[in-house]
Amino acid sequence: MAEQTPIRLDVEAVVRKKLGNRTPRFVINYLKRIVHEDIFNRFFSEHPDLKNYDFIREVIGPGLLNTSVSVSGTENLPKDGSPVCFASNHPLGGLDGMILALYLGEQRNYNVRVIVNELLMYLTPLQGIFVPVHVSGKGGQNREYAQKIDELYSSQADILTFPSGKCSRKIQGKVQDPEWKKSFIQKSVQHKRDIVPIYFDGQNSSFFYNLALWRTRLGIKTNIEMLYLADEMFKATGKHFSIRIGKPIPYTTFDHLRTPAEWAQWVRGEVYRMK
């Protein structure tokens, strides 16, 4: 069997593609450092054959971050085999997604797919479990991604989604998700999927939240703090996290007494009540 060529993270190539050649060298070098390009590429070269759940297991385990997790509410996982939609808060913006994907995958016969920002598709070892959403751009691309989401909801795979669409920020003095999007309600009703609420207990550094706060106050629309999510992930090295799984909410719950947007906020409230 031919040896697998390891992937490489190339921050400079991504920056040049997005911003052209006008980006100063010191900016590129700084981005390489906060993204931890060298550490990632060393990991990729040492584990060229790892994919999907095996890749995640090594990243969050002894191979890189050495995190641990405790889970309560496992008895709430459906036993009848029907595919469900897991809806979780999103405190960390990446690491929480990997931890949840692995745990739920282990519990659900490794048949869990995670809805993610399209930028994460650069992580080719995870393309087997990631399903991208297009957060901006032209309508044609939106239709293409929307079709992939429809196909996912029509499948027999369980779905892990973070309905806020981005990780938690400090809002009114508390670390919490922004308003949840309604699409997971609409799709779950359409495809008759019960929703299982999940609360993930964790948070990023004060630096991350303060940067997001001041970026907003200054009227800067570019999501600058996202650049620091890899750095936040490494700050979590060796940490222990806890997960709480709630009772499934039947899709028939989401009737016309509330709009899908209102139901989305109601489920968000159910998640935070598990805190």
Q: Is 21 inside a domain boundary?
A: no
β-pairing, 240-245 vs 195-201, is: antiparallel
Handedness of CA 12, 17, 22, 27 (dihedral sign): negative
Mean pLDDT of the chain: 91
CA angle 197, 203, 205 (to 5 degrees): 165
Handedness of CA 68, 208, 129, 193 (dihedral sign): positive
**How does residue 15 score in pLDDT terms, banded at 50, 70 and 90?**
confident
Nearest one of 270, 232, 249, 222 to 91, comparing CA atoms: 232
Domain coverage including residue 114: 50-273
pLDDT one-digit tens code per residue, 71-120: 999 999 998 889 999 999 999 998 999 999 999 999 999 999 999 987 77
Nearest one of 250, 263, 273, 271 to 84, comparing CA atoms: 250
What percent of the chain is predicted at pLDDT more than 90? 70
Q: Over 70: is that where the pLDDT of 138 sits?
A: no
Q: How far apart are CA 275 and CA 273, in angstroms?
A: 5
Token readout for 110 is 């490794």
Residue type, 6: P
If one compares 219 and 145, the residue with the highest pLDDT of the two is 219
Q: Is 17 inside a domain boundary?
A: no
Q: How far apart are CA 201 and CA 90, in angstroms?
A: 9
Token readout for 82 is 């029907």
Q: Is 168 inside a domain boundary?
A: yes
**How does residue 14 score in pLDDT terms, banded at 50, 70 and 90?**
confident
Q: How far apart are CA 94 and CA 60, in angstroms?
A: 11
Global confidence as pTM: 0.91
**How does residue 270 score in pLDDT terms, banded at 50, 70 and 90?**
very high
Nearest one of 202, 162, 194, 161 to 178, comparing CA atoms: 162
**How does residue 13 score in pLDDT terms, banded at 50, 70 and 90?**
confident
Q: Over 70: is that where the pLDDT of 141 sits?
A: no
- Kindly give the interhelix angle for 139-154 and 183-190, rounded to the nearest 10 degrees: 50
Q: Where are the alpha helices (DSSP H) in 61-162?
A: 95-107, 139-154
Q: Is 84 inside a domain boundary?
A: yes
Count of the separate structural domains present in the chain:
1
For residues 187-212, give the mean pLDDT.
96
Q: Is 10 inside a domain boundary?
A: no
Q: Is 138 inside a domain boundary?
A: yes
Which of 121-130, 223-232, 257-266 is the most confident on average?
A: 257-266
**How does residue 221 score in pLDDT terms, banded at 50, 70 and 90?**
confident
Q: Over 50: is that where the pLDDT of 166 sits?
A: yes
Q: Is 42 inside a domain boundary?
A: no
Which CATH number fits the domain that encloses residue 122? 3.40.1130.10
Q: How many residues does the chain have?
A: 275
Position 144 scores a pLDDT of 81
Residue 30 phi, psi dihedral angles, 5° rounding: -65, -45
For residues 53-58, give the mean pLDDT.
96
Q: How far apart are CA 118 and CA 10, in angstroms?
A: 17
Q: Is 19 inside a domain boundary?
A: no
Position 4 scores a pLDDT of 63
Q: How far apart are CA 244 and CA 88, in angstroms?
A: 10
